[in-house]
Amino acid sequence: EAGVTQFPSHSVIEKGQTVTLRCDPISGHDNLYWYRRVMGKEIKFLLHFVKESKQDESGMPNNRFLAERTGGTYSTLKVQPAELEDSGVYFCASSPPMGFNYGYTFGSGTRLTVV
């Protein structure tokens, strides 16, 4: 079984540019989550999809962040325009239906550096 795949693994962009991160969850996992870890700080929740619907987006920092999960399969997280404070590691995770009874499977993350 393939794990959670994230692309790209690293991205370096200039302030003001746009970056799109992609996450492919485990097939059959209805729940998809985005988290972010800024250097040395806690891992913060961004949002949660159930299939194609946004279940909880309370962690999205501002309207420069846009997440989509068309068709309930892979998800994208777009940052536009990127700011310096957006630098960090963005993790995607997925879990089966009734996900709170299971651990999450995380991808390896995308390290975003905004310069």
Partner 1 sequence: SQQGEEDPQALSIQEGENATMNCSYKTSINNLQWYRQNSGRGLVHLILIRSNEREKHSGRLRVTLDTSKKSSSLLITASRAADTASYFCALSGNTPLVFGKGTRLSVIA
Smallest separation, CB 77 to partner 1 (Å)? 15
Work out which of 15, 38, 53, 56 binds partner 1, going by CB under 8 A. 56
Beta-carbon neighbour count of residue 90 at 10 Å? 22
Task: Print the binding letters for residues 57-96 with partner 1: x by CB under 8 A, - otherwise.
Answer: ----------------------------------x-x---
Token pair in block for residue 59: 């962690």
Work out which of 101, 112, 114, 115 binds partner 1, going by CB under 8 A. 101
Residue 15 or 54 with smaller CB distance to partner 1: 54
Task: Identify whether 8 is preceded by a cis peptide bond (ω within 30 of 0).
Answer: yes
Of the CA atoms within 13 Å of residue 72, those in its CB half-sphere come to: 12
In this structure, are residues 75 and 92 in contact, taking their beta carbons and an 8 Å threshold?
yes
Residue 17 or 105 with smaller CB distance to partner 1: 105
